[in-house]
Chain A
Amino acid sequence: MTIAITHLSRRFAEFRALDDVSLSIAPGEFVALLGPSGSGKTTLLRILAGLDFPDSGELTQDGRDLLRVSARDRGVGLVFQHYALFRHMTVFENVAFGLRVRPRARRPSKAEIADRVDRLIKRVQLDGLAQRYPAQLSGGQRQRVALARALAIEPGLLLLDEPFGALDAQVRISLRRWLRHLHEELHLTTVFVTHDQEEALELADRVVVMNRGRIEQVGTPEEIYQQPATPFVFEFIGKSNKLPVRIQNGRLVAGDQRLDADGLDGAADAGAIAYVRPEHLALTPTPLESGWRATVRHIYLAGSIAHVELDVPSLGQSLEAELGGEEAQRRALQPGAAVTVQPRHLTVFPIDGKTGEPDPERRRVAHPRYGQAALARWR
């Protein structure tokens, strides 16, 4: 059951909610639509559910035009952000709803409905709560009722809108694991919307990063984190340092440093924006020939990782670095300490001469080369 989304666009007055979005979802896949609010992810989800319709573009399921199928007949399970449970019905009635409203010919018998609903209620671990009303349940319980209700109609596609958005942090994490297990059991094609990168990276097989109605990048969580394709993804996912640099004769000029780097062969001279993850900044307390001179402004330990905030005068900005907590102690890093900072892995987006914007098409990954002596002292 492959779902193909081709060139979908949707406008609300002057606002482009979706702008030429194409995506293909494979059977059994667990896909996250990740983006800030207003990025169009919820609009896309609503179009998949049949609650909204695009201005242009196509949506097919194994070649069948889904846009001609009403929400009612699409057989999609949808879990709303605030669950939208029927407040005047018990848990049992909520879950049974989708079966009870079927036309007589397709409606299971009363006993069969009761049986199926009971099994679903067990599956979402709400045994004994069947006769409760939604107002008598906790957030996590309501979430699971909503899920059971969506699963009752045996959907071919499960859609979840910010499924954990309204929950406490702890409940959120346990429900996340549980949902992942459920997906592994059911192999149900699932699309969920979230603005929480951690959620998307932990749960999904594939993450679709959206921004301003467009898809920025589609990839596995690892690809998204390790190889962000655009400046937006870099800034949205994980932590990163953003530096103004120049590409000159295949070298990277940043502050007072002129770095030899692999990966810049044939790159035209241009101004550029470089991104460096905090863990890709190497710190050493002794002065080295290459690398920025910096002062530790602040350091704090979070678990096994030390976060270091650095003042780098030659760049005119501060940088954030991360290293193992033990390493930080061994190097005697403390506020006020002088260090040398060497970037090990930078992603460089040359600035387009016409638009003045960093160009994702000309993205380069640069690995600076440092002198043998420096490396030896470092180790």
Chain B
Amino acid sequence: MAAVVSAAPLRRHRPIGRRLVHGLLIGVALGFLLLFLLLPLAAVFVEALRKGLGTYVAAIVHPEALAAIELTLLVAVIAVPLNTVFGVAAAWAMTHFDFRGKALLGALIDLPFSVSPVVSGLIYVLLFGAQGWFGPWLQAHDIKLIFAVPGLVLATIFVTLPFVARELIPLMQAQGSDEEEAARVLGASGWQIFFRVTLPNIRWALLYGVLLCNARAMGEFGAVSVVSGHIRGLTNTLPLHVEILYNDYNYAGAFAVASLLALLALVTLCLKTFLEWRYGSELAARAPRGH
């Protein structure tokens, strides 16, 4: 109460210059958002529907577009669960154990963030491509990774690797391992500890990480583009399909497919906001725990 009472006179006496700066900063931030986020988003939908709903639907139900949707979902369905398992395992190891190379593991988890996606794609081509290190061996055993679906999955996994782990590590660090130790002393097995104590404590952060991971997995362009080979109907994911349509001067089609990705982004954003609201209140409930 005291803070509110004392804040009021301050506000009244705040010099005009400061209020100007205040307004200016908010204005710049909002203007920036409008110009660089909302406007393009609106443009995507306007362009997609420019030639009418019929063209829009036709572009989406086109067999190549459907194949791209299917492939995008397939890649995400493989990459996201794998990265979820990896993320939880890595976060657990980073926060519960002391081991040699812990700092290295931390740096490695961040590596995909710091490497350009195109370079990460190239790495896979250099490793598994026809001229790559393992190329001859793979060919001899008739395994096709590059310019095929497995390559897309690999590249996507690499690019989206940090999302879940990075979301969990700070939370698990803050929570410590007291509750897990308490569960152990009470007689719980490793799995019981994980499912009854650890998972419920990290569930919102985990979901949040999975969501971001999924958005990136579906939207990834650079790395996927390098390993895909752009075989229509076979190795084209949604972002690649947009590019192809665009290069074919099929703007309405390109924007129609792009609108799907934009929708995905919007849904992710809504879910993320909801989770932040939900997860934030949980954090607040934890605050009086003290210490």
Contacts and interface: CB of A to CB of B under 8 A. Distances in A.
Interface of A: 49-51, 71-78, 80, 82, 84-88, 97-98, 101-102, 133-135, 139, 149-150, 152-153, 166
Nearest to B193: A101
Contacts of B278: none
Contact of B181 (A84, A88, A98): A84
Interface of B: 178-179, 181-189, 192, 196-197, 200-201, 285-286, 288-291
11 contacts: A50-B185, A51-B181, A80-B178, A84-B179, A86-B183, A87-B201, A87-B289, A133-B285, A135-B288, A153-B187, A166-B291
Given A82-B291, A135-B289, A98 B184 contact: no
Nearest to B290: A166
A106 B290 CA distance: 36
Contacts of A139: 290
Contacts of B201: 87-88
Contact of A88 (B184, B187, B200, B288): B200
A135 B285 CA distance: 6
B182 A84 contact: yes
Contacts of B178: 80, 82, 84
Contacts of B189: 72, 101
B286 A72 contact: no
Contacts of B179: 84-87
A73 B288 contact: no
Contacts of A49: 185
Nearest to B289: A135
A135 B290 CA distance: 10
B87 to A, nearest CB: 20
Given A71-B184, A72-B187, 7 more contacts: A51-B185, A71-B185, A82-B291, A87-B289, A139-B290, A153-B186, A166-B291
A101 B286 contact: no
Nearest to A77: B185
A80 B182 contact: yes
**Best-surrounded residue of A73, A101, A150 (most CB of chain B within 10 A):** A101
A80 B197 CA distance: 16
B51 to A, nearest CB: 52
A47 to B, nearest CB: 13
A78 B285 contact: no
Give me the 7 closest cross-chain CB pairs, A-B, nearest first.
A84-B178, A98-B186, A101-B188, A84-B182, A88-B200, A78-B185, A135-B285
A101 B290 contact: no
Contacts of A153: 186-187
B290 A97 contact: no
Contacts of A74: 185
A278 B185 CA distance: 45
A73 B181 CA distance: 13
B219 to A, nearest CB: 33
Contacts of B290: 82, 139, 166
Contact of A72 (B188, B289, B291): B188
A166 B289 CA distance: 11
B187 A102 contact: yes
A248 B121 CA distance: 86
A51 B286 contact: no
Contacts of B184: 51, 71-72
Contacts of B185: 49-51, 71-72, 74, 76-78
Contact of A97 (B186, B288, B291): B186
Nearest to B285: A135
Nearest to B177: A84
B172 to A, nearest CB: 14
B286 A149 contact: no
Given A51-B181, A72-B188, A101 B196 contact: yes
Contacts of A80: 178, 181-182
A45 to B, nearest CB: 11
B181 A149 contact: no
**Best-surrounded residue of B187, B200, B201 (most CB of chain A within 10 A):** B187
Nearest to B284: A135
Contacts of B200: 86, 88
A135 B201 CA distance: 14
A42 to B, nearest CB: 12
A133 B289 CA distance: 11
Contact of B286 (A77, A98, A135): A135
Contacts of A102: 187
B148 to A, nearest CB: 44
Contacts of A166: 290-291
A98 B289 contact: no
Nearest to A102: B187
A87 B285 CA distance: 10
A322 to B, nearest CB: 36
B201 to A, nearest CB: 6
A357 B281 CA distance: 57
B227 to A, nearest CB: 42
Contacts of B197: 86
A134 B183 contact: no
Contacts of A77: 185
A150 to B, nearest CB: 8
Contacts of A75: 187
B291 A98 contact: no
Nearest to B175: A87
A76 B182 CA distance: 11
B286 A87 contact: yes
**Best-surrounded residue of B186, B201, B288, B290 (most CB of chain A within 10 A):** B186
Nearest to B186: A98
**Best-surrounded residue of A80, A97, A166 (most CB of chain B within 10 A):** A97
Contacts of B182: 78, 80, 84-86, 149
